[in-house]
Structure 1
Amino acid sequence: MRKLNILIWHIHGAYLTAITQTQHNWYLPKKEDNPEGYIGRGVGSSMPDYVREVPASDVKNLKLDLIIFQTPQNYQQDQFDILSAEQRNLPKIYLQHNSPEPHPTDSRHWAADDPNLLLVHVTHYNRLMWDNGTTPTTVVEHSVAIDPNLRYDGSRAEGIFVVNEMKRRGRMAGFDLYNSLRDKGLPLTTVGMGSAEIGGIGEIHYTKLHQRVAEYRFLYSLMRYSSLPLAVIEALTIGMPVVALATTEVPTVIENGVHGFISNDPEKLRQNMQFLLDNPDEARRMGNNARKLAEERFSLARFINAWNRVFEEVVGS
């Protein structure tokens, strides 16, 4: 398809790095005080050069083909602040990253009943659970744009969880389970914003994160309620076994004893984690299976093709 001129706000850096692998002309609005969504490319970006920053005040002068929203603010306020009236009539996508809140089944989406927009969910679970009204919807499953040569090492007999602000997010992010499992003697750590204050590693830039993560025996995810975490897909991609709660979309991805372990019984998860700590060869076998799964279901090539089909459908219509 022809190259499109696409405006998107910088909301989730890892996802933005992946979606911009589609070779279009991407524009990121920027403001000097860097409020949410307006940081441009950000610091140390690994995005392609065709992803360009543009002052928010100049956006209205761009010749655009497509607008992509990702937050209620993008949809309800930002478009009226920085887009021209003509641009607001362009084809539009709302990319919904998260599972519904505040209620898992009765939360109505902000873009519900908007016939002039396509609502794209990142998991089938999310699309099922959101009340989308009559807005057209589709699903594009995740991928990640990380070093394709990076491989699981697993020599460090510890588990690691990649999550931002676990303590602040509390039970949703499994902070209570993290503390309980560590109290029972499991060597677990966490990495991400706010992790240092709870005994973790701290924040590591995305371009260096996965090389560090690959050293650990397994990745664990204690998210009670979340979209399919990108950290899980990143672990699968480098060939790392995953131990996770069997909630939301995760049970459609991880098969027990094949790619790692899933359960909603914390004691069972503790036993599974201990098994991987005690059996590095089994951890490597499951990691090899995890990598095959990622290549089949979450490859970057599949992701790029899926998004280009969506773009062609939306802009063509």
Structure 2
Amino acid sequence: MRILLWHVHGSWTTAFVQGQHTYLVPVTPDRGPDGLGRAVTFDWPGSVVEVPPEQLRDAGADVLVLQRPREFELARQWLGRRPGRDVPTVYLEHNAPGGPVPDTRHPAADRPDLTIVHVTHFNRLFWDCGTTPTTVIEHGIVDPGPLWTGTLERAAVVVNEPLRRGRTTGTDLLGRFCEAAPLDVFGMRTERVAERLGLPRERCRAQDLPQAALHRALAERRVYLHPVRWTSLGLSLLEAMHLGMPVVALATTEVAEAVPPGAGVVSNRPDVLCDALRGFLADPGAARETGRAARAAALARYGLPRFLDDWDRLLKEVTR
């Protein structure tokens, strides 16, 4: 099957393109948001093929996987076909609703010619999709392996653009958490976090690392902290669990489903989470056993084979 999708979410796409299909990815000369082409910092197989917009009409796409509202018009212009009507189409929704929850209307609502795919059951519950058919295909992770050593008595946090996203990603909570454990914040545009929050540099450090280096850096930290209030289920959380890291997380959105008892501490009480951070830093043996449970849970629920099988079934259904 020849699947057309835009390069929007590098981590998710890395898992998706591990299947047995040909993946057509638009590429433009400037490699801008509508034509990023193949990933640079992720390892994608040769079955991911870059296609310039002017060649898409002849590329033979069997199905579209759209991820942003503007891709409806891009597909119509570049393929000369209407998504859902002239070519089978699914709309992949990565995010929790960002509007007046729980009444946020989905941009693909009331489109019976499409299928909306949510990445969590929480998201499906909260988005108003009207009459559009919906389903859930939970995340799959390319297993980085049980790399955790926990040699550094620090907590790892992964968040992109924490200053811009603010309360959404729990950036305002970092000051309280760094009193319990020194933090290393990884992600895009994190370099001024400590300065802007007025935190001591030794208690809150920031780094932006490529994916391969990121996994090894995370695994050196004793515990993974997930302070996010309101996003979809972060892939970095699931990757940390695959690494064998114990998890300390806010009990928001899908986290309570993803982190079962024994795999970490999940609560909406910051004092409980601070105590958990102190506990894991003080007891590497408990951190190790909790991390093993986290890895087992992540492999069972978010393993790559299940993810790819779920997508194969859906794609066969929509292209019949």
Which TM class, normalised by the smaller chain length? Answer: over 0.9
In the alignment, the residues of structure 2 paired with residue 179 and residue 194 of structure 1 have an alpha-carbon distance, to the nearest angstrom, of 18
Greater CA deviation, 200-209 or 212-221?
A: 200-209
The aligned residue for residue 226 of structure 1 is: 231
The aligned residue for residue 115 of structure 1 is: 112
1:161 equivalenced with 2:157 (yes/no): yes
The aligned residue for residue 39 of structure 2 is: 42
> Are 1:27 and 1:54, in contact at CA under 8 Å, matched by a contact in 2?
yes
The aligned residue for residue 90 of structure 2 is: 93
The aligned residue for residue 286 of structure 2 is: 282
Give the drift of 1:253.
Answer: 2.1
> Are 1:220 and 1:243, in contact at CA under 8 Å, matched by a contact in 2?
yes
Q: Name which of 304, 309, 314 aligns with 1:305.
A: 309
In the alignment, the residues of structure 1 paired with residue 46 and residue 208 of structure 2 have an alpha-carbon distance, to the nearest angstrom, of 25
The aligned residue for residue 188 of structure 1 is: 183
Report runs of 4+ in structure 1 exceeding 4 Å deviation: none
> Are 2:66 and 2:91, in contact at CA under 8 Å, matched by a contact in 1?
yes
Q: TM-score, normalised by structure 2?
A: 0.93
User: 1:302 aligns to what SS in structure 2?
Assistant: helix
Q: Name which of 294, 299, 316 aligns with 1:295.
A: 299
In the alignment, the residues of structure 1 paired with residue 52 and residue 213 of structure 2 have an alpha-carbon distance, to the nearest angstrom, of 29
Partner amino acid, structure 2, of 1:214:
A
- Give the aligned CA root-mean-square deviation in angstroms: 1.4
- 1:21-170 counterparts in 2 under 5 A? 21-75=18-72, 77-85=73-81, 89-147=86-144, 149-170=145-166
Alignment deviations for residues 37-72 of structure 1 (CA, whole Å, 9 cap, x no partner): 311003244111010111122111211100010011
> Are 1:113 and 1:135, in contact at CA under 8 Å, matched by a contact in 2?
yes
Partner amino acid, structure 2, of 1:113:
D
> Are 1:46 and 1:207, in contact at CA under 8 Å, matched by a contact in 2?
no
Structure 2 residues without counterparts, runs of 5 or longer? 195-204
> Are 1:150 and 1:211, in contact at CA under 8 Å, matched by a contact in 2?
no
Partner amino acid, structure 2, of 1:65:
D
User: 1:310 aligns to what SS in structure 2?
Assistant: helix
Give the drift of 1:80.
Answer: 2.5
Greater CA deviation, 233-242 or 5-14?
A: 233-242
Percent identical residues: 39
> Are 1:159 and 1:219, in contact at CA under 8 Å, matched by a contact in 2?
yes
The aligned residue for residue 267 of structure 2 is: 263
Q: Name which of 220, 230, 249 aligns with 1:215.
A: 220
> Are 2:143 and 2:303, in contact at CA under 8 Å, matched by a contact in 1?
no
In the alignment, the residues of structure 1 paired with residue 81 and residue 119 of structure 2 have an alpha-carbon distance, to the nearest angstrom, of 29
User: 1:95 aligns to what SS in structure 2?
Assistant: strand
> Are 1:121 and 1:127, in contact at CA under 8 Å, matched by a contact in 2?
yes
- Number of residue pairs aligned between Structure 1 and Structure 2: 309
In the alignment, the residues of structure 2 paired with residue 143 and residue 99 of structure 1 have an alpha-carbon distance, to the nearest angstrom, of 18
* Distance verdict in 2 for CA 1:52–1:78, change over 3 Å: same
In the alignment, the residues of structure 1 paired with residue 218 and residue 114 of structure 2 have an alpha-carbon distance, to the nearest angstrom, of 38
Give the drift of 1:197.
Answer: 1.6
User: 1:119 aligns to what SS in structure 2?
Assistant: strand
Q: TM-score, normalised by structure 1?
A: 0.94
Structure 1 residues without counterparts, runs of 5 or longer? none
Give the drift of 1:146.
Answer: 4.2
Partner amino acid, structure 2, of 1:181:
F
User: 1:22 aligns to what SS in structure 2?
Assistant: coil
